[in-house]
Amino acid sequence: MRVVVTTPLEDDLLERIRAADERIELVVPRELIAAPAFPSAHPFPAPDERWDALLESAEVLFDFGPLDLAPRLSSRPHLRWIQATSAGVGRLVERAGLQRSDVVVTTASGVHARALAEFALLAMLMFAKDTLRLVREQRDHQWQQYAVEELRGKVVCVVGLGKIGRETARLARLLDARTVGTVRTVGDRRAEDLHVERLVPTEQIDELLPEADVVVLATPHTPLTHRLLDARRLALLKPSAIVVNVARGDVVDEQALIDALREGRLGGAALDVFEREPLPEDSPLWDLPNVFVSPHSASTVAAENGRIVELFVENLRRYLDGRPLLNVLDKEQLY
């Protein structure tokens, strides 16, 4: 079984893949793989005619390969499975035409949950303690005492109680916040099992927003969640509420968010994702005093590659044994 790696991995992790089963032929075209700019970065490799033959021969891909060749993945004769290095690959799969193919895509769902939950917690604490003000006043050598707030008793609304959302709710409860949340379909799921006091379907989010002190967006980007937090829903929030987005930029109407922040109709925002990335230099979000900007890096930790490879090796064994794979992307729901 030929496995082609298309993204940077450390040598010891490549050896772990090789050691998973003697039937694996691991192909690592080092001269074509893009160099990582930081630990656990997964850049798309540059176009090169040599990629075509490699993708043509692969049964399994570790990541998608060059972005410009993604639309041809569904027609590769031997390709059966792609292991992604991200959880939110639904839109890429859609753009590549893989929705209508037999190629199985498995995601890195769960790998980034703790890191993103910690970012959400950081944002809650930053705004409770008015940390952005502290940074400005330290820079300007100003000494001005003021009162801060606690997270205890605050209502944290987590939109999307998947692995990221559940971990966010769990950590928030450890600081005595009250948590509520949404899922696409409630069914027989119990609120307490998801670390929230109250659980509603995503389409009923309006019921939760007026009482929320913090809204954490941790939902996949799907047709249901596209601009879920629009101008009307932002107006339901308290003027003191903050928005934390670790989902995708298109889950929020960005211009409506900017307007609410500028006009004092919203307390603040901590954003790791944006409608356009990199965030354009002329975006007002850079300079608004109540916004914390993160360059889509909150999910990335140095240990990420090891965790993805651990998941991949388990799935390799399952694949070779004919057992169900973990984290298979639902091509209808796109997560």
**3 state DSSP class of 171:** helix
Instruction: Count the neighbouring beta carbons within 10 Å of the beta carbon of residue 80.
Output: 14
Catalytic residue list contains 42: no
45-51 long-range contacts (CB < 8 A, ≥24 apart) are 45/6, 45/7
Residue of 150, 203, 277, 310 marked catalytic: 277
Q: What are the Cα distances from residue 257, in Å, to 170, 205, 250, 253, 262?
A: 27, 17, 12, 6, 9
Residue of 42, 166, 195, 248 marked catalytic: 248
Catalytic residue list contains 265: no
Q: Is the peptide bond preceding residue 45 cis, with omega within 30 degrees of 0?
A: no
DSSP 52-81: HHHHHH-SEEES---GGGGGGGGG-SS--E
Catalytic residue list contains 248: yes
Residue with tokens 């039937």: 23
- Which candidate, 79, 80, 91, 25, places its Cα nearest to that of 52? 79
Residue of 16, 133, 296, 318 marked catalytic: 296
Instruction: Count the neighbouring beta carbons within 10 Å of the beta carbon of residue 180.
Output: 23
Which residues are annotated as catalytic? 248, 277, 296
